[in-house]
Amino acid sequence: MSGPIDERDIGWVNEGQIGVEVRQGRTANIGGFEVVRVLPTKGRRTIGGWCFVDLMIPPDATDPDPLEIGPHPHIGLATVTWLFSGEALHSDSLGTEQVIRPGQLNLMSAGHGIAHAELSPEEGVQGAQMWIAQPEATRHGEPAFEHHGELPRVEWAQGEAMVLVGSFGEATSPARADTELVGLDMTLRSGPTEIELRPDFEYGVIPLDSSIKLDDAIVEPGWLGLVEAGPDRIRLDAGAGGGRLMLVGGEPLGERIQMWWNFVARSKEEITGAWEAWQARDTDRFGPVPSRLARIDAPPPPWLAGSD
């Protein structure tokens, strides 16, 4: 799915607790489809390698928007598609045409360039669209696509988790990971639970359907609870009714990334190069996508706007 990325943000709340910050997501519109953008947020571009988290949860569930995102390019990132309801058809310039349903994972690594489209045959698709910044070692490499029809599940007394990426407890996802990271879809039963963290990871907790207490901080649905690296465990409490959340984490990236539109790079020059290739319909870099949807043109990067 497409960005675009800009610098707006509704704001953030520091709960006054060491290591945990809570930030509000904001509504964004992607090709007519309304989403809640959780990451990037003010002053925070990445959590581990995770650099983008959109929740596709239409605020008005009785009148949901259709999901129709025409062919658009990516570089330097992996897209992680995870649905809560409905289904979607992914098609890309590798020739892939793959339907995805809840419980399944699509992971597309862009490398130096890929283009794709997403279409939901029915209205009402809900899910999470997330990006992982690729490290220097793979971001110039070949594009690739993976579909995982089944993922490992971990269950304990107070909850269960699907392991999208990385490892949790004894379970490890089969999905490709270019950096040390984890992505979980966790359902909590009533009452508090403690989960183990890797002290070298930073984490984001994103409640989906109820507020969740993260140690002593309250995190609302669509908000981000940020846990800096350090602790080896954290307490989660979704209250009497339980609740569902996404948990993302990873080793701090250690590289400052440049993000604009659908591109993740390290410099404006790299992004300009990708923008020029897409606008020039350079099929060496971004091949044709098997999709009936209209191609999405890139706006000019702000550093080029008005220069001619």
SS3 269: helix
> Would you count residue 253 as binding Mn ion (CB under 5 A)?
no
* Total chain residues near Mn ion (CB under 5 A): 1
> Would you count residue 1 as binding Mn ion (CB under 5 A)?
yes
Q: Which is nearer to Mn ion, 106 or 173 (CB)?
A: 106
CB count in 10 Å sphere of residue 271 = 24
Name the one range near Mn ion by CB under 5 A: 1-9, 20-28, 201-209, 244-252. Answer: 1-9
Cα separation of 148 and 181, whole Å? Answer: 17
Minimum distance of Mn ion from residue 14's CB (angstroms): 32
Cα separation of 60 and 178, whole Å? Answer: 37
| H helix or E strand, kind and range, residue 244 | strand 243-250
Q: Which is nearer to Mn ion, 23 or 74 (CB)?
A: 74
SS3 275: helix
Of all residues in the shown chain, the one whose CB is closest to Mn ion is 1
Minimum distance of Mn ion from residue 107's CB (angstroms): 12
Q: Which is nearer to Mn ion, 4 or 169 (CB)?
A: 4
Q: Which is nearer to Mn ion, 24 or 93 (CB)?
A: 93
Cα separation of 49 and 84, whole Å? Answer: 23
Minimum distance of Mn ion from residue 83's CB (angstroms): 15
- C-alpha count within 13 angstroms, C-beta hemisphere, residue 205: 32
Q: Which is nearer to Mn ion, 1 or 274 (CB)?
A: 1
> Would you count residue 197 as binding Mn ion (CB under 5 A)?
no
Q: Which is nearer to Mn ion, 1 or 236 (CB)?
A: 1
Minimum distance of Mn ion from residue 116's CB (angstroms): 6
In sequence order, the 6+-apart residues with CB closer than 8 A to the CB of 303 are 268, 272
Q: Which is nearer to Mn ion, 1 or 271 (CB)?
A: 1
C-alpha distances out from residue 242 to 161, 245, 252, Å: 13, 10, 30
- C-alpha count within 13 angstroms, C-beta hemisphere, residue 306: 2
Minimum distance of Mn ion from residue 72's CB (angstroms): 6
Q: Shortest CA distance to 194 belongs to which of 252, 236, 147?
A: 236
Minimum distance of Mn ion from residue 164's CB (angstroms): 17
Q: Which residues bind Mn ion (CB under 5 A)?
A: 1
